[in-house]
Amino acid sequence: MLALGKLLELTLAGREPTEKIQLTREGARLHWLGEGALEITPTAQADNGMDLLLSAGIHGNETAPIELLDRLLQAVASGQLLPSARILFLFGNPEAMRRGERYIEQDINRLFSGRHEQSSGNEALRANELERLAAAFFSKPGRKRLHYDLHTAIRASKIEQFALYPYAEGREHSPVELARLRAAGIDAVLLQQKTGITFSSYTYAHLEAEAFTLELGKARPFGQNQMVNLDLLETRLQQLIEGNEPAGGDTLDGLQLFTVSREVIKHSDAFKLHLPDDIENFSELAQGFLLAEDIANTRWVIEEEGARIIFPNPKVKNGLRAAILIVPAAI
């Protein structure tokens, strides 16, 4: 196997490869662009016009997706997968990966779409670098652009594998992409209603890619992901890499759709979230329930029918989102 196929090993060791460019036996090119970044270019004869960005490790302790990308990259480097797509593999936060931490100073996934310019530190610099790498990758005109940003969640979830579909003014969510997600084992999709500051929001709104944040189970340390079944996703990613997705047949059957009703923003240290620490994502909340309180008599009371909670986290910094209320939706 080519040495550049060991991008994860290089990244965790903090090493720079001796050779920055290598070719597979079939002629696909592997190009090391920087720490945790590797671009694969298929042969001209094989190129099907797809640009596929696969990122993981934006949160350094979310290891199942990192291990998945490692398997895919090693399969390309060893000739088991023959790429027809251009691919950019990105490990988002190498230092946090090395430490087994979610982040070091601040959450990179809250620093995109210009937010890094309002901040400082290594993670702000890394967010800027990730934007630059993605923009360069998606700069070729006339090509299909797809980005999957792979994560696992802090807490358990009643729907274990789900996706967040970003929003951009003037663009509609694609039923074709939703069906592709369903075929990849995704059980629910949250259709966002405003422009976000995450990595997938940046590539969707600014680089015109179809882009998704995929939540793929609960965060665990390296080597402890036996309970996270990513077989369907891995198969679909292999098909995207090789350009041999099944023709037709993908449906939305069984896919649950949700939309954001409200975001709960933490304004001060007085913020209180009236939920158990171990509450699962997608837990239902009854109408009339007092969800949270903050300064100046700010109260969040459940008014929506069928409301559910995702990403509750009262420990976020003041001014950031402490939870999302979602409701069932249709497309």
- Positions marked catalytic: 215
The 8-class DSSP code of residue 330 comes to -
User: Which residue type sits at 237?
Assistant: L
Tell me which residue of 102, 146, 111, 144 sits closest to 130, measured CA to CA: 111
- For residues 135, 316, 275, 190, the Cα torsion angle rounded to the nearest 10 degrees is -10
Which residues, other chains included, contact 298 with Cβ-Cβ below 8 Å and sequence gap of 6+? 267
Is-contact 112 55, C-beta < 8 A? no
Tell me which residue of 143, 131, 299 sits closest to 209, measured CA to CA: 143
Tell me which residue of 107, 4, 111, 20 sits closest to 60, measured CA to CA: 107
Q: How far is it, in rounded angstroms, from Cα 231 to Cα 302? A: 37
User: Which residue type sits at 26?
Assistant: E
Is-contact 281 155, C-beta < 8 A? yes
